[in-house]
Structure 1
């Protein structure tokens, strides 16, 4: 199952992504974490004492990733003709989470016991000539060619704010958790996400964070209503861990909140046809908007009408 953590910058979504991944790992569940934020801090959040993350970022090898994923698909002539929205078809290379393939072998590195991939930071060479969404293209392609199942978890720490809507990446998830502080700014991103998510039938739940009392909780309930799933209280343990000397254990209330998140994910049933339908829709949008002109091809022909996504496609 694919889980996205989104929210305003500073809401604590990276910290919560790390806590959720570590909880899954401690429970013995197979999990892969992906840092898809412009600020690449997930490795540090997973293990503040970790050394340098040395596995190459996905965005630095986008060409090779395209070559791997297009496989022998006759509808995709070259890596140059493959965009971030190109959906899989017959002949495409499909991946299993943490499978024995070139992508996972090259790009995954354990951090704090959690396998992690990163998109790559936005650096000086990108200034004025690129947007961060170009780096997220590798994540979108990866999820589009991933065949995962129940009790397998791919957790993506997404870009802050509503930037995820600049591509179809936000439709790639089984569950999106929006992390919100109990402030007006904290819930502002929620309204943007709520409206777009409802348009496409994307499941969205709000996780309150840094809640200090009943007034904070009441504010969140008034602002987001039934979308409020659970909340985390201010955590001295998280603060001490981030300072490099964790004291005690995670608070019982916060431990319970992580349990609620997992139970919510586990209750979801993957809708493969809807997942593929969204992928095709955004690919055709991209093709009409810019990709046909950029590649000099009609990229609508990349859509394989006879391709059936899901576990059966692996054979």
Structure 2
């Protein structure tokens, strides 16, 4: 299942996403963690030192390799150069899986040991000096979107993405790639302002949005969040001596995380599991196509010089068993599903 952490800058979304990754790893779950924030801090939050984090390979720098691999033998894609961030998979495309080894992971992922259980970590890469004035950070995040579009995940497998702050993720269709989006909010008016933006933008796309209160110090903070976000409030995390030690670079064993905070993380996992069980694969594929056609018309056709609508395979639906018969992208079924509201978990 695919999970996003979003929130206002400084809300603690990177810290909470790293705690969630640690929680999953401690339970033996396979995890791919992705740092898609312009401020690249997830590696350090997962225990890397600054030098190790800076040495992580950049997804954006390996975009040609990613495109070439994912294109596979898809006859609808004339060349890797004609692929854009929204290009959907089709018959012949290569698909990624959480637990496999493949050239994309080989070039772009690194194994990070967490209490003896490794997780795969990928990063978009920082906004460099050469990008200033000539590039947009969304061009780097595009590599993440392309990988998510081609990634087949199953129950008990987790892809956790630390997203850009605020509502920047709505600059593409990537916000629809997740089974659940955890919005981290402090119990302040500014803290819940991003929630209102996100709720409004996501309203027509069936996005499952749950609020995780952070830096919650008492019942008054909880009451404030309940008043502001209602039933979308899923869990709350309070002060943590464990997190303070982690931020100093001296994290104790994860099993020593406070019981209340561990319980909150388990609530997040249960919500993610429940949302994945409701995934509508036809709708999921149709949303890829929807945003690909919008991007093609808006800028993609002009940039590539080809009609990108021709990349859409009308007979393909991405499913959990796609490609399992040994052929790239096989196992598809006809796709005729319109965009419609997704079922919401109870």
* TM-score w.r.t. length of structure 1: 0.97
Aligned partner of residue 244 in structure 1, secondary structure: coil
Q: Which residue of 2 aligns with 1:58?
A: 59
Q: Which residue of 1 aligns with 2:333?
A: none
Residues 74 and 91 of structure 1 are in contact (CA less than 8 Å); yes or no, is this contact kept in structure 2?
yes
Q: For structure 1, list consecutive stretches of 5 or more residues without a partner in the other structure.
A: none
Deviation per CA, 1:182-227: give whole Å up to 9, x if none: 1111111001111122210010100000001111111111111110
Q: Measured at CA, do residues 312 and 24 of structure 1 come closer, stay the same or move farther in structure 2, by a change above 3 Å?
A: closer
Deviation per CA, 1:57-107: give whole Å up to 9, x if none: 110010111000011111111122100001000011111114121011222
Q: Which residue of 2 aligns with 1:252?
A: 259
Residues 98 and 104 of structure 1 are in contact (CA less than 8 Å); yes or no, is this contact kept in structure 2?
no
Which residues in structure 2 correspond to 1:1-315 (within 5 Å)? 1-47=1-47, 49=49, 52-53=52-53, 54-113=55-114, 114-246=119-251, 249-268=256-275, 269=277, 270-314=279-323, 315=325
Aligned partner of residue 206 in structure 1, secondary structure: strand
Residues 48 and 241 of structure 1 are in contact (CA less than 8 Å); yes or no, is this contact kept in structure 2?
no
**Partner Cα distance (2:57, 2:74) in 1:** 26
Bigger mean CA deviation after superposition, 260-269 or 204-213 = 260-269
Aligned partner of residue 211 in structure 1, secondary structure: coil
Bigger mean CA deviation after superposition, 50-59 or 200-209 = 50-59
Aligned partner of residue 311 in structure 1, secondary structure: coil
Residues 82 and 304 of structure 2 are in contact (CA less than 8 Å); yes or no, is this contact kept in structure 1?
yes
**Partner Cα distance (1:233, 1:312) in 2:** 40
* TM-score w.r.t. length of structure 2: 0.88
Aligned partner of residue 234 in structure 2, secondary structure: strand
Q: For structure 2, list consecutive stretches of 5 or more residues without a partner in the other structure.
A: 326-346
Bigger mean CA deviation after superposition, 158-167 or 109-118 = 109-118
Residues 29 and 152 of structure 1 are in contact (CA less than 8 Å); yes or no, is this contact kept in structure 2?
yes
**Partner Cα distance (1:188, 1:50) in 2:** 32
**Partner Cα distance (1:100, 1:115) in 2:** 11
Superposition misfits of 4+ residues, deviation over 6 angstroms: none
Aligned partner of residue 52 in structure 2, secondary structure: coil
Q: Measured at CA, do residues 72 and 247 of structure 1 come closer, stay the same or move farther in structure 2, by a change above 3 Å?
A: closer
Aligned partner of residue 52 in structure 1, secondary structure: helix
CA drift at 1:49: 4.7
Residues 300 and 308 of structure 2 are in contact (CA less than 8 Å); yes or no, is this contact kept in structure 1?
yes
User: What is the aligned length?
Assistant: 315
Provide the alpha-carbon RMSD of the alignment: 1.3
**Partner Cα distance (1:10, 1:40) in 2:** 13
